[in-house]
Amino acid sequence: MSTFAKVVLGVGACFGVILLVVAVIVFAAFLSADDDAASSAPTTVEESAQEEVTEDEEEPAAEEQGVSMTATQSGTTGDVIDDTVYTVVDVEITNNGDEPFDVNPMYFTTVLSDGTERNDWGEAIFADITHFATGDLAPGDSTSGQIAVVGEVSVTELRYEPIFGVGDPIVVPVG
């Protein structure tokens, strides 16, 4: 294969990946727009009363969703390639449900003490931590690993939100 053909194939593959990412973003925005339109529809007195009742109830706990998760901030670590410093969070996930549970470090979002939400998975690939193994967690099984956040920060909350916001996130405070 000629060099030109290789370049064309490489550029085409990059363009395909970009189109895929744009399609996912548009799909997520479309889902969000549907949720916004449904929430802005006029409500009746009965619906308003129902909303007041549900607003008083808390979001379902992780245990009610069939999965329990704990998170503890455990100091800092370095990078295996350069001198980047990371804040480390120890995480344990237990599948209490009846169905396999998808575990993937890309689905974790940290909330810092100033309210900033971060997903540093891409930047923390070379952090010197115990990474999560990706895959299905069978019912009754547990797994543990660490999440790294770039810099010396205070993490207050950890959110696990699989499949780009479809379904309820699992949210736990970081001790």
CATH assignment of the domain containing 100: 2.60.40
Q: List the structure tokens of 91.
A: 């995480």
Domain count of the chain? 2
User: Per the confidence metrics, is the pTM higher than 0.75?
Assistant: no
Q: Does 49 lie in the same domain as 69?
A: no
pLDDT of 166 reads 62
Domain enclosing residue 163, as ranges: 62-173
Q: Does 76 lie in the same domain as 100?
A: yes
- β-pair type (108-112, 155-160): antiparallel
Q: Does 82 lie in the same domain as 33?
A: no
Q: Does 87 lie in the same domain as 71?
A: yes
Round to whole Å and give the CA distance between 100 and 140: 9
Return phi, psi of residue 102, to 5°. Answer: -80, 120
pLDDT of 85 reads 95
pLDDT in tens, the chain (175 residues): 777 777 777 777 777 778 777 766 766 666 655 444 444 444 433 444 444 434 443 434 444 468 899 999 999 999 999 999 999 999 999 999 999 988 988 999 999 999 999 999 889 999 999 998 889 999 999 999 999 999 999 999 999 987 755 668 889 999 8
Q: Does 121 lie in the same domain as 152?
A: yes
Q: Does 82 lie in the same domain as 34?
A: no
pLDDT of 155 reads 95
